[in-house]
Structure 1
């Protein structure tokens, strides 16, 4: 676009706003943003996340701005965009990124789709801010960058963050909702600036600062316990996240180990500074360093009422500046010369961030299989007319991905985008498959094909079978029909789809919660436990040393086939999005997140052995839910303690299962013991899937004796006492249950047979 096509006044006005720190932000034209970003070229791209891509805008004078372009996706709530605009416009502070302007542009395009002309809506939303050239704080607190900053620079960054948060909480009554090093930019002279207000909320004047909001969200490693367990969100949530951020800033490690005392952290920090050759700039600041670590620990108190306010923190920091204490001896006190291998071991552990993008780190979900796809190895025999790698075939069997065909969806949250839709697909001869269509995320093509091919090779009776996959970039866009939207949404990018066998009898969730849950007899409950354990064991064992970790195992992700055999699904996202997840993770509490262990949310990176314990914890909750018929919700600890106190004796079991024989009662008791072992608070004490498989086969030793050597129930005729699902569903890693009336079919046994 040539400059004459733009009004000179538009460029001049933008130049004025950028150059005047006191100027108000204004609405900008799309043509202007296209001009300064060279048409949103790849060369202008400076950052990319799960919800937006950021471009560098260059003005004629040489001034720069950052142009944040939100992805266009179905389910997008306009209020989310308007909220971020209104929040930033209220704020003017040197430690908060300044808003320059915004743009909301919608146009309608007529295009050919399957031989017909259709009218599609294309939405584009932008937020423009000052450009901060030094990047995010996260890149300055890793081992590589940490030695470049002396103590005074660390302290300046720390206090600047606190001053920015004080302004938000106490001056303009806003809580941020996602404080972390990835949302703090570093300006000139190491001035920190808080960024990304997409999850922020504004409190009315005089409204209590401990207001509890609904639908808590943020980044898992920085979430406080009350958000994870109860969905409570307040300014004290920001304080907790600030504590984690301060600890990471001071220790220089993005993976912070919970449980370390201030004294231990000081000792480890001194060793590290000495080894890096930068201890001299910290040597006389012992009192200030210690106070900052103590503040961080207080911020991370489990009880929100015990955490300080931003004002308390500023006052504590001010007091350290008046103390002049040479404290070399204090640094050395109690720090005997000892082997530093324990410190080095901590530092050499992988720093992959769970559910947070880190492009230079290994895939958090396991070692990447390097075997190239070989189409001749596919084990699925399909009718000649059905090629699941052909986009046109998938469009045909789903009625062009009609919203009426949606039977599940992934990654939903009020105000944010859907990550995938699951469609019901009708195969010729009246058979059915489930087609998962990725919407809000695009996996690199080679990774998608490699992982999808590995999914098709998974073959176990307790895993939902992946029938095929499709990657098609011929159109470079996709139309998404979303219920409630007057026009289909146009989304740029390739089509990526996974096809699964269709489960007619809903999910385990439908049989454990709600109507009819107590009508399931023990024979069926034991069958569900054993099948789920067997499926998880298969995933963890993996193929060719490539284990798969689910990281979101819940009853909603255990589907039931026509014979009520449990089948695990939803493991695809943990593999596909491991390296491409968003910087801000938005999850719906009281959904699948309710089955994850508390330690998972505070572990920002770990090894494969730990990831296995995350699934084991989730499995333990499922086992306890099935065996005790108590619903898992809210605080896990309360329910676990209740089961430990009330279910170790036979009396509680016999009251619940009045008609069972002695062998079956021992089975119930054994399963409860297994479940309790799985949910131990220390991950290293949880059993492996192999242990559980062996216990279910041979019995579990407890207190020197054998709780049970179970007798496998003799199958009964019919469905084993299982009622039809009160809400028949077919969900692939989904929150929403959608009603269906399909009859069970034997087709899948024929459809998924080996060649």
Structure 2
């Protein structure tokens, strides 16, 4: 009795204090409060358990879930489930109070005999939610709950499910009967994660047979595919049901018209909420799980809508009142707008100049907790205004040679730029501030210049979080929309009459996404603010991939619009293939080899309509046109937009050595053929000798291209198996700074040789012939030109290429590491463009 009294005290304390942790509960206590699990106390039944109402001494209630004896629930599974629920605490999750795992030996009668067996009882205790489950409140649009309550329920369910997903908990049985409502109709999700206690087959069997609500299960569930997007599908069905009273897709205009007939004036806010809820519900019930949003995006859509509503109200209250450069914080906060809806044009009320003290305040003193990102140009912070609205504040590094007047003039030009595919610059700060610094142990007064830029804040972040890898796989339609949007934004920057802008740092991290997955270019115009020289220094010295930089800009500092086009080309190829250029030692060659053909496109986009394959191929070809070495051959942004609008009018793939190089399996050549194209290995075709053999120039008949044929010495002692492995490994190495293996020959040739004496009959001998055929390098080896009068650009290009090639040998292969062991100028060959290529390494 003492233990029961103590438990009564503990659970009553839990009801008053949310900080009290769940605990172990005696079976006798749970039996007592449920009146020995009386049928009168039953409040629900499910596929796994019965739920009873437990009455406490103070008149309050709890819910006790008792699992069926027939459910096979191991101690380990039960323990993990309890541990999982003990850490879950959220306003929209049913609160967990405690657990009971009771095992006793009892006597049973079986087949007419008395046997002693183990009797296991597994129970869970939760808060009692008085208004029952959501399914009792769902009705059509003309009856039942008013819209405000429905919206509160939808938003609460989304918040609770987002919390579960953030904690890596899948519900797998989300439906109205598993959503309870408290006194204020606040929704609380229950029965979450319980299916994780059982093996997958039993979970699906129980769900399918006992749930009685197949309409909430995602289509992929029936083929055994379960993920967080399965819960999102169920959420979409529930949202549509709460809004309309029916499951499934509904036309937005029909829904809005029905609600107009019920709503009382004013109805603007409610109709906007209804529209957004239907849009979210429609996205959630997409048949393809990859097209469904995650809970983070859903919450951001709600946040943006509510922010827009606040801004609209604030803007209407401002009227036509203007503001000077030193308005109060309240005026600044109320003037800044997301401009997500282009119908709202309140940016004119924003003061262009924002005081440093104001920006310092809204970023919490530029605290680390408010940092959104860090790069070569500075640090970006989240600025939260007094009305809760968010902006992005970039605090630039202190660059030399920036005049205040020039900076202010350039910012004013940038602030006039407006396009749906660029991030809006909202305001700026340029102040000289006095501060004390330590110098030789003494405080010294010094002046520092602060430059800050304020942008609209986009919740979804940059596209690099979405376009790469399986975890963030996007369908082709979304990727194509991204490509078009980026091109249109860049075209606007390049061609606008007010201030043509060359970006000079276009990459995935500088393309943000709004709530509709529309791309928005950011960080444009920084070269105008800090100077092209400073910009190039930042771009070439900041840690991270530099694969987006055009060669003429990277090496020579030459600036033109075509520098951005090169970056755009890499970006397009990344979006199409879903691969990061920094993860491939030669990204462009990889695209040409693995992404251009029909079967390869089908592999990348298996569910894509066949008629859209040409669209994918078109984007790849546009990307390759953009990355041509000769910048004059690269298209303009306007050219690209016209090609995209034409859709499927495909032209030839651009002619560029790096692009058109065909890398494939090495071909097996006959000795007779190699003997023929080298003129019987004549001295006139000999191009080099080494420890392993002799290298000849082979010229195939009717072909202008030559190949290098290395005839290995017979006595080098390579076994057939070693040679086979060598050819296999060499054929896998694909890099623009490695000499490419074209083919090989492995034959035993029979020859006649004379005996020792002149009159002896000829002797038949068998000779092992092993040859390797490589691409031919017309400039020869590096040692022949390294001492010539080469310009620095060429020397730097050669050094860089050698380093890339050696890195490929050391780190670029999945299961082999190659040490060259004979790296010297004679083993570094040069192609017609002076690109260095490593030769004479052994892959085994």
Normalised-by-shorter TM-score class: 0.3 to 0.5
Structure with the greater alpha carbon radius of gyration: 2
Tell me the TM-score normalised to structure 1 length. Answer: 0.41
Whose relative contact order is higher, 1 or 2, with alpha carbons under 8 Å and at least 6 apart? 1
Tell me the TM-score normalised to structure 2 length. Answer: 0.37
More strand by share: 2
